[in-house]
Structure 1
């Protein structure tokens, strides 16, 4: 059984806080099962965007897995905003979390598939 989205988000915000990295909920989604997107602002006009891995990733049924949404490197913030707007049209229950970290750390550990 997967942890509810709201509980996962609150734990993630605490993780960022422990690392002294600013993190905010930009959009609050469904508390139980909303998809979560993590936007890492590199503070240079670019961001790295992580979202739910597609179905079929090992462990994806019980643990959250993450993939980069827009290629392997950072993209412009406008491109990320456009992508997230399209995702909101598809899934109005999604969460958007934004963190600011010049080093580009996402704090998703081994659950992030960098591929």
Structure 2
């Protein structure tokens, strides 16, 4: 089993990749630097948004980004607020991109 990258290091690398792709991104909630989960929200600039979270498959142990929500931005924000209330170690990264680009499918980010 490959050791997991510390959350703070992953977030820093992800923000760099987003900046290089000219995708505005902000850390709106800083979680645990070592093991905090990460939620990525992308605002589509039309009043809607999507939220993604990385989860492990219980059968295989493989990790993948799953879509948590895709709806009005205020509803996505409410979901993230409820999730953060249950998990104060959660990182929240917000992106702004009309095309909905997150780069989460790219090598090094998707695993």
Q: The TM-score by the shorter chain falls in which range?
A: 0.7 to 0.9
Task: Write the mapping of 1:30-109 to structure 2, written as runs, cut at 5 A.
Answer: 30-56=32-58, 58=60, 60=62, 64-70=63-69, 74-109=70-105
Q: Which runs of 5+ in 2 are unaligned?
A: none
TM-score with structure 2 length normalisation? 0.87
Runs of 4+, deviation exceeding 6 Å: none
Using the TM superposition, give the Cα deviation of residue 31 of structure 1 relative to its aligned residue in structure 2, in angstroms. Answer: 0.2
Structure 1 contact 37–94 (Cα < 8 Å) conserved:
yes
Q: How many residues align?
A: 106
Using the TM superposition, give the Cα deviation of residue 33 of structure 1 relative to its aligned residue in structure 2, in angstroms. Answer: 0.5
Q: Which runs of 5+ in 1 are unaligned?
A: none
RMSD: 1.8
- Of Structure 1 and Structure 2, the greater strand share is in 2
TM-score with structure 1 length normalisation? 0.84
